[in-house]
Structure 1
Amino acid sequence: DAPEVVHTALDAQLRRNVPGQHDGRFVRGVPGQATEGLAGRELALLDRISDTVRPLGNVLRNRMEQGALARLVARGLVQVAGVTPSD
């Protein structure tokens, strides 16, 4: 859905001297899903993600948000994709 975003991010990640924890992983929100019952951290993260494809490392600000991301994925509000070693 977003080849320019993905290619630009992967090129930038390849140029780094040290690989990042979230390199090769991308996230996007799923539009039209109910958000009732989300905690503040989850809502803030979902707003930051929006419904466009974004590099995961650009979205997560701290390790505590990884749990919030997992909860959003479990509820079907967010999709995470990544490059596999065989790609």
Structure 2
Amino acid sequence: MATGIKTGGRAKGTLNRTTTETKELLQNIVSKELDNIVVLLEKLEPKERIDAIIKLLPYIVPKQQEIALESKATVSGITVTIINPNEDDN
């Protein structure tokens, strides 16, 4: 066998035929079950139904990441004037 040189087999990045067939099989199974999911969820107890929905959420709604904003701006020279509208200038 040549060291560091690919001399045969699949081209780089080509999926294994077994892997491709397995993925297709699983997609077919999941597609069929998605049609039945409402019926299956209705058969569950309320707590089990909520647990199942919570487990499915990450596949439907992307998880939000926390965003931290940091400001290094400085403020100087602010003048605050308080005006009392009830006070007469006379």
Asked if Structure 1 and Structure 2 have the same fold, meaning a TM-score greater than 0.5 normalized by the shorter chain, the answer is: no
- Work out which of the two has the higher radius of gyration on C-alpha atoms and give 1 or 2: 2
TM-score tier (shorter) = under 0.3
TM-score (norm. length: structure 2): 0.22
With a CA cutoff of 8 Å and minimum separation of 6, indicate the structure with the bigger relative contact order: 1
TM-score using structure 1 length: 0.22
The structure richer in strand per residue is 1
